Amino acid sequence: MRVHKYFPGVGKKQNYLNNILVLITMFFLLNMYSYASSWQPENALRIKTIESIALSVKGDETVFVVSKIVREITTKKLVWTSALYYRDVKGKTKILSAKQQNIASPAWSPKAALIAYLAKGAEHQAIWIINPKTQVNYKLIELNRDIASLQWAGNGKSIAFVTNSLARFDNTKHAIDVAKDYVNAQLYVIDVRGYSCESKTARVLTPANISILFAKDFNWSSDSKTIVYAYQERRAIPYPVKTKLALVDVGSGKICNFNLPVDQNIYHPVFSPNGKWIAFGSNLFSNKKQATAFALDANVNSRICLLNSKGKISFLANTYNTNPMPIGWNSTSDKVLVYDAYKTNGPQIYSIDIAGNSSTKKISNINGYLDPATFALSHDGKVLAFTLETGQKPAEIFRTSINDFHPLQISQIQPSPHIVKSTIKVISWKSSNKTIEGILNLPPDYTPHKKYPLLVAVHGGPIENWSVRYLGGNWHNGKKQLPFCLEDFLDRGFVVLQPNPSCSSGYGLAMRREVEVGFARADYQDIMQGVTYLEQQGIVDAKREAIFGWSYGGYLAAWIITQTHKFKAAVIGAGYTNLISYMGTTDIPELLVEFLGKPYWLDAHNYNQLSPLFFAKNITSRVLIVHGDADQRIPIAQGYEFFTELNALHKTVKMLRLPSEGHLPEDPNLILSTMAQIEVWLRV
């Protein structure tokens, strides 16, 4: 005020300059606010993961495992913790155990109010028993290696479980025969009766020279006398695995092998409640003309089979996607419950009638993503529980009657989530003679006729697909998560496209089989047609486009940027870039043989023509490579090869090595720091 009074000329000039400064500051702050989104990468790590669910005999009580990320008080580091929850018949929920580590695989006794589960013992994953009403628990058994899965016998007297045949010592000083560098998984049984203080021993049921493949690949008969199991000759067998089916008499230990075709995949065998049939998923076909290498992989092409007491196989009607996985039987033993992917809707639940000309009926009728890893069927086959999430809401537990499918939410464990205001649309476009579908995610303040930067997210597999899921979480599989969150980019003004190209699951076998003749090339065309469609619609800015992919998605992203200059930035997450060296070092060496028809030593030219490494000179994108250094599925050497060449060619490239991480990262500290670097890299 004194300036204005004594130096009026200077005061007016100063006032003018002050006003200009205020306007500039406001403009700067507004722009900072528009860019400095309310969403932060750590928001995605607040979402809890419901890893597994178990129902009581009648389905009126529920136990489930919840994992979350917390910050340690002493180290200040982010760590995973897990807790066992119990919901009683009145709907009240309490925590049964929160201090144990690695809680997993809860299972309800069919005959008593007891729950068995896995958790860390003194050193290894052990079996624990807990009474949910008294919360008294004790360790049933701990071995000198981790126990992987468990199932109660129907009479509640025994538990069968799977563990390695022996403890493996990685610090051996002896040379290792690579052909014998594996440990098989065997089936054991333990009697749970008696006092909790009694020392108990387990009895092995299967020989050491075969291996139980997956956690759900064994099942008790209803009379608790027999166990059916699927196995392979040894765990280290090349992909796709060749599996067989057998029965073991629990009392005598006598094994009966079924004489089934040699080239096969069998998974998740399940006894019917009346004991007359065993249902299982398989690539077995009545039509032998279908038996190509691709068709014989039950991971991409399967159906449900029935085996009767005389060893005769019958084939049930298939699902639309022709790749069903068994859940279990209904209470009357006349229907098999399965799930299968359906376009962008995610896994759907089907009921397959086994009588006469069997028929398939989709019984799930809700809008949302059902996580198959959480499917839990009550022992009487009448009630089903699972987690359900939508684009705007994270996963919670729902329960429904099988005969009247109307799920009701029975949990409330998620924190108050960030309000997702982004818009999700399922779109389609033409590519050659096909209709390709994808998910278009629009930012919160999306305005029509305004062009936005585009991020293309490429899924892995290749026989996987994008489904509509919660935008505010990381892409995850239990505790393993990718360092990437869609909402992170949507809140910063990106449009995100999730295409489901020809290789995708959920659209039927005919669509998937295009990968046999158009590996990478067909997917490239399908994705680029989707990008062109968005440009023609005036939605995206053709000069501001980026691409991201993980696993096969990382490979495809790398391939795409060698074929086009459209993308300004790219993130190659755990992708293979040299198909020949990849096939020789991966733990699934026959994967590419399925898709390309021959191994590289018989078709080196084709392998080279589809390797991004040999076209790297064409790249103009900024390339960020992200790879775990303990990845066995796609060894980190694939990332190093690509980085070394791009660096030598003076391309703009950076590589992030994730210490001690496998194919999917798990360490939340690494995930958070990597998310931040990806966010910066993909600004276009």
Task: Name the pLDDT band for 313 (thresholds 50, 70, 90).
Answer: confident
User: Does some domain include residue 137?
Assistant: yes
pLDDT at residue 614 greater than cutoff 90:
yes
pLDDT class of 288 with cuts at 50, 70, 90: low
Q: Which CATH number does the domain housing residue 147 bear?
A: 2.120.10.30
Confidence class for position 514, pLDDT limits 50, 70, 90: confident
How does strand 203-204 pair with strand 211-212? unpaired
pLDDT in the model for residue 297: 64
Q: Are residues 617 and 664 in the same domain?
A: yes
- Among 392, 417, 442, the domain boundary falls at 417
Question: Other C-beta atoms within 10 Å of 676: how many?
Answer: 15
Residue 18 reports pLDDT greater than 70:
no
The pLDDT value recorded for residue 36 is 43
Judge whether residue 145 has pLDDT over 70.
yes
Which two tokens mark 61?
């009580």
Percent of the chain past pLDDT 70, that is, above it, reads 89
User: Does 24 score more than 60 pLDDT?
Assistant: no
543-555 average pLDDT score: 96
Give me the pLDDT at residue 561, please.
98
Task: Give the pLDDT of residue 239.
Answer: 62
The pLDDT of residue 6 is: 30
Crossing angle of the two packed helices 521-536 and 552-563, in degrees rounded to 10: 70
Quick one: average pLDDT of 13-19? Answer: 49
- The pLDDT value given to residue 5: 33
Point out the domain boundary residue: 130, 153, 176.
Answer: 153
Mean pLDDT of 251-266: 82
CB atoms within 10 A of CB 599: 16
pLDDT of 559 over the 80 cut? yes
Question: Is the pLDDT assigned to residue 74 strictly greater than 80?
Answer: yes
Q: Which of 184-193, 292-301, 343-352, 658-667 is least confident? A: 292-301
Of 109, 138, 153, the position where a domain reaches its end is 153
Which among 395, 468, 387 has a CA at the least distance from the CA of 425?
468
The residue among 671, 647, 649, 642 whose CA lies nearest residue 659 is 671
Asked, for residue 293, whether it belongs to a domain, the answer is no
Q: Are residues 465 and 602 in the same domain?
A: yes
Alpha helices in 336-445 (DSSP H): none
- Same domain, residue pair 374 and 520: no
pLDDT of residue 613: 97
The pLDDT confidence band at residue 260, using thresholds 50, 70 and 90, is confident
Contact 91, 85 (CB under 8 A): no
The pLDDT, as a whole number, for residue 141 is 95
Per mean pLDDT, which range of 5-9, 115-119, 430-434 is the poorest?
5-9
Query: What is d(CA 298, CA 284) in angstroms, rounded to the nearest whole number?
Result: 9
Whole-angstrom Cα distance, residue 539 to residue 536?
A: 8
392 and 481 together in one domain: no
Question: Do 142 and 75 fall within a single domain?
Answer: yes
Confidence grade of residue 233 (pLDDT, cut at 50, 70, 90)? confident
Q: How confident is the model at residue 246 (pLDDT cuts 50, 70, 90)?
A: very high
**Residue 240, pLDDT score:** 61
Which of these ranges, 6-20, 273-287, 365-379, 525-539, has the smallest mean pLDDT? 6-20
Which CATH number is 501's domain given? 3.40.50.1820
Residues 571 and 627: their CA atoms lie apart, in Å, by 11
DSSP sequence for 121-184 = -SSSEEEEEE-TTT--EEEEE--SS-EEEEEE-TTSSEEEEEEESS---TT--S---GGG----
Q: Evaluate if residue 516 carries a pLDDT over 80.
A: no
The three-class DSSP label of residue 49 is: strand
User: Is 577 a member of any domain?
Assistant: yes
Q: What is the pLDDT of residues 395-414, one digit of tens each?
A: 999 999 999 999 999 999 99
120, 62, 80: which is closest to 399 by C-alpha?
A: 62
**Confidence tier at 25 by pLDDT (50, 70, 90):** very low
pLDDT for the residue numbered 301? 78
| pLDDT score of 417 | 65
Q: Are 186 and 215 in contact (CB under 8 A)?
A: no
* Whether residue 467 is found in the same domain as residue 383: no
> Residue 413: helix, strand or coil by DSSP?
coil
Q: Average pLDDT of 45-49? A: 90
Instruction: Give me the pLDDT at residue 361, please.
Output: 94
* Domain match, 347 and 485 both: no
pLDDT-derived band at 1 (thresholds 50, 70, 90) equals very low
Residues 607 and 510 reside in one and the same domain: yes
* Residue 475 scores a pLDDT above 90: no
580 and 642 together in one domain: yes
- Over residues 262-290, the mean pLDDT reads 80
Q: How far apart are CA 626 and CA 403, in angstroms?
A: 47
Other Cβ atoms less than 10 A from the Cβ of 255: the count is 14
291 pLDDT tier (thresholds 50, 70, 90): low
Whether 83 is covered by a domain: the verdict is yes
Cα→Cα distances 70→118, 258, 481, Å: 21, 49, 15
Q: How far apart are CA 668 and CA 228, in angstroms?
A: 39
* The pLDDT of residue 374 is above 90: yes
pLDDT digits (tens, 9 = 90+) for 335-355: 999 999 999 999 999 999 998
Residue 575 lies in a domain: yes
Q: How many domains does one find in the chain?
A: 3
At residue 503's C-alpha, the angle toward residues 497 and 504, to 5°, is 55
The pLDDT, as a whole number, for residue 419 is 72
Tell me, yes or no, whether 519 and 624 share the same domain. Answer: yes
Lowest mean pLDDT among 148-162, 408-422, 448-462, 625-639: 408-422
Q: What percent of the chain has pLDDT over 90?
A: 67
Centroid of chain to Cα 323: 16
Based on the domain organization, do 358 and 466 belong to the same domain?
no
Taking the C-alpha atoms of residue 579 and residue 462, their distance in angstroms, rounded to an integer, is 14
Q: Are residues 633 and 662 in the same domain?
A: yes
Quick check: 182 pLDDT over 50?
yes
Q: Amino acid letter at 201? A: T
558 in a structural domain: yes
Domain contains 33: no
Provide the pLDDT for residue 168: 55
Mean pLDDT value across the chain? 88
Residues 439-467 pLDDT 10s:
999 999 899 989 999 999 999 988 899 99
Contact partners, residue 165, CB within 8 Å, separation at least 6:
183, 184, 185, 186, 208
Using alpha carbons, list the distances in angstroms from residue 23 to 18, 30, 31. 9, 10, 12
Going by pLDDT thresholds of 50, 70 and 90, the confidence category of residue 276 is: very high
Domain that holds residue 111: 52-153
pLDDT band, very low/low/confident/very high, at 4 (cuts 50, 70, 90): very low
Q: How confident is the model at residue 107 (pLDDT cuts 50, 70, 90)?
A: very high
179 has pLDDT over 90: no
Q: In this structure, is residue 610 part of a structural domain?
A: yes
